Amino acid sequence: MKILSVVGARPNFMKVAPLHRLLLFKEGIDAKVIHTGQHYDERMSDIFFRQLELPEPDIFLGVGSGSHAVQTSKIMVKFEKVVDDENPDLVIVVGDVNSTVACTLVAKKKHVKVAHIEAGLRSFDRKMPEEINRIVTDSISDLLFVTEESGEKNLQNEGIKNHKIKMVGNVMIDSLLHFQTKSQKLKVLEKLGVEKNNYGLVTLHRPSNVDDEQSLSQALEILQKVSKRIPLVFPIHPRTYKNARKYGLDSYLDNNKKIIVTDPQGYLEFLNLMENARVVITDSGGIQEETTFLKVPCLTLRDNTERPITVEKGSNTLLPMDKQQIINKVEEVLEGKYKRGEVPHLWDGKAANRIVNVLLN
């Protein structure tokens, strides 16, 4: 059986790595990794292949950035040639980025089966491009690997047959557990001059938070306020950095020694920062899951989440971009009054094994 696993953006690598490691050693499986190049920055892409012990991608499409239509169409044109040349039995896609939906569409029109890892997640906000990618991908995939109960229910409500839906757990946690010891040995905190359990970790990259001048200004003002209570480490996304400069919001970043701005971090470095943080402030999806597993308080600056289990059972809280609400929640964390949370069912580091067993059977 020939299997093509598609990666394109940073979160994809952590999901494909544990699965690809297993597939490489299965007799009768010819497994290849296709990197679309949706994230092409060295710090956002290449370093992940090295750190996650993935071999160089078998095929690199190098599509680069562009609008959603431009990027999706470029991926489709280039991936179609790959499918023609490779003639795979199965294409594995992960997550909810443009590479996910583009390669799914190509594979299905070529009558190739598709397995979607992290299926069924819904924010119910169709203004988010990721939500459209999820819905389209799930509607035509042949196997849907689910991380949490809400995913199963969402797919059933959308008319997906039960035999296609497989509850397997979370492959992100497979990667976290596999690399946790290696990550813990790094001297990241020393280099940044912060102490364990005495800093907040920040990531902001969603267009709704960083593309609009007013939204970004409000977000940076809130961080400035929070930094008066606890130092913040802020690995800044290229998009966020570019917009801060564009709108003349440099002072929020340059004139505050309590906000330590860094380049985007490698997977191991970021895992170290996450595990040792007192609180994480983010708008990311995957970080909600990782902090839930680590039981680190996570404040997600969004009105909704496609990962409700992180709020219902985990250590995540959804918050609007409201200064006082965020400050109050940070105080709750610092005073030791924040919820502890629990690790969801099947988030045990064995999700990739379950996926491979389904594929082989």
Residues 223, 202: Cα–Cα separation, whole Å: 9
Residues 222, 219: Cα–Cα separation, whole Å: 5
Residues 199, 226: Cα–Cα separation, whole Å: 11
Question: SS3 of 305, please?
Answer: coil
In the residue annotation, 163 being an active-site residue is answered as no
Task: Report residue 227: phi and psi, to 5°.
Answer: -65, -15
Cα dihedral 65, 70, 73, 77 in deg (nearest 10): -70
Residues 50, 267: Cα–Cα separation, whole Å: 10
Task: Tell me the residue length of the chain.
Answer: 361
CA angle 305, 310, 315 (to 5 degrees): 125
The CA-atom distances, in angstroms, between 142 and each of 91, 117, 294 are 10, 11, 32
Identified catalytic residue from 39, 205, 237, 345: 205
Closest CA to 180 of 276, 318, 49, 286: 276
Catalytic residue ranges = 205
